[in-house]
Amino acid sequence: MLTQLRSAKQAFIVPLVAVSLSLASCGQQTSQAPTGSETPAATPAAAGGNTSLTGAGASFPAPLYQRWFADYNQKNPSVQISYQSVGSGAGVEQFTKGTVDFGASDTGMKKEEIAKIPADKGVVLLPMTAGAVVVAYNLPDVKELKLPRAVYTDIFLGKIKKWNDPKIAAANAGVKLPDLPVTIVHRSDGSGTTAVFTKHLSAISPEWKSKVGDGKTVQWPAGTGAKGNEGVTAAIQQTPGAVGYTEYGYAKQNNIPMASLENKAGKFAAPTPEAASKALASAKLPEDLQVSITDPEGAESYPIVTYTWIMAYKDYPDDNKAKAVKDMIDWSLTDGQKVSGELGYVPLPAEVVTKVKAAADQIK
């Protein structure tokens, strides 16, 4: 099975993530926006002279970040930006060590992580976009699937072994469920997507909370690991009977079915950008701009959503880099938001953009 998943991952190609890999391997080469895409309006050059920025972290927003940085570079050719999709855990680690100019995390940073940043650098956490974590599956001829809260928790606990289990069938009257084994795929790397998913499961299931808990890495009761949202999506796509969690955009771009999940109000919600937006609206963003939405209110809310953050230093020793980081963030909060929905992300509400811009003013 492991061999199959490795080969599946190698074979998996998402056009937008391919841009990510190209940027990561080529360093300062310029990326091109996808053919036929609408090019955002030009912005002034971020800094005098040529400047290169490197970033690393969450795979959740990687397709969007690569689109943003490619579009930004077209309008600001003096600024080269590379981003490596290595997972939130590695992103926090690299940012803390100072080996990148900015990091990215789907869970922001814990107080103890922030305390490790040198005082002369400081850190500002900026939510840049948001989206849904979906339960994607590979079942021949099953295009729609409803999963009650207790059922999808039991699936990931390894308690439900077959897709035609009576508990799944009871919620899907008229659907011909196959007699296939359930093959769980989870992240093998330190992952903000994992943290978001397991925080939700801990919020709705005392059994999950006591047996597994939450975090960027956990001891999974069942299943096989794959690296990145890219790897999980690939494994699901290549394995009949597979189920796993990934970011909405990855499943959407690869036409992988996604389950409708029962929300806190007892309604089944499909993971649409509209349902994710409803969930985000149920939680107020605090002063430090970090919030964990573990089980949102609202009859129309999709139950597993998150903001995703860029970690930037408050003080950069290189003035050009400081100007470039600040301008890149400002562009992403304005022109960049216009393409968020196109790629399956939720554009930030205007009041959130205002708060994030104010926080970004600390960068110098």
Residue boundaries of the structural domains of the chain: 13-131+307-360, 132-281
Please, which residues have CB within 8 angstroms of residue 31's CB and are 6 or more apart in sequence?
19, 22, 23, 66, 69, 70, 73
* pLDDT number for residue 49: 64
CA distance 223 to 215: 17
13-131+307-360 and 132-281 share one CATH topology?
yes
Instruction: Tell me if 220 sits within 8 A of 187, measured CB to CB.
Output: no
At the topology level, CATH places domain 132-281 in D-Maltodextrin-Binding Protein; domain 2 (3.40.190)
* pLDDT number for residue 7: 40
| 177: nearest Cα among 192, 161, 162 | 162
- Give the pairing type, strands 260-262 and 268-269: antiparallel
* pLDDT number for residue 80: 96
* pLDDT number for residue 352: 94
3-state helix, strand, coil in the chain (%, to 5): 40, 20, 45
| 189: nearest Cα among 93, 253, 96, 114 | 93
* pLDDT number for residue 21: 33
Instruction: Tell me if 302 sits within 8 A of 194, measured CB to CB.
Output: no
Please, which residues have CB within 8 angstroms of residue 106's CB and are 6 or more apart in sequence?
58, 60, 61, 88, 191, 192, 193, 195, 196, 306, 307, 308, 309
In tens digits, the chain (364 residues) has pLDDT values of 434 434 433 333 333 333 333 333 333 333 333 333 343 444 444 444 699 999 999 999 999 999 999 999 999 999 999 999 999 999 999 999 999 999 999 999 999 999 999 999 999 999 999 999 999 999 999 999 999 999 999 999 999 999 999 999 999 999 999 999 999 999 999 999 999 999 999 999 999 999 999 999 999 999 999 999 999 999 999 999 999 999 999 999 999 999 999 999 999 999 999 999 999 998 889 999 999 999 999 999 999 999 999 999 999 999 999 999 999 999 999 999 999 999 999 999 999 999 999 999 999 9
CA dihedral (207, 304, 258, 230) positive or negative = negative
**Residue 167 one-letter amino acid:** K
189-198 burial code (b ≥16 CB/10 A, e <16): bbbbbbbbbb
* pLDDT number for residue 42: 40
At the topology level, CATH places domain 13-131+307-360 in D-Maltodextrin-Binding Protein; domain 2 (3.40.190)
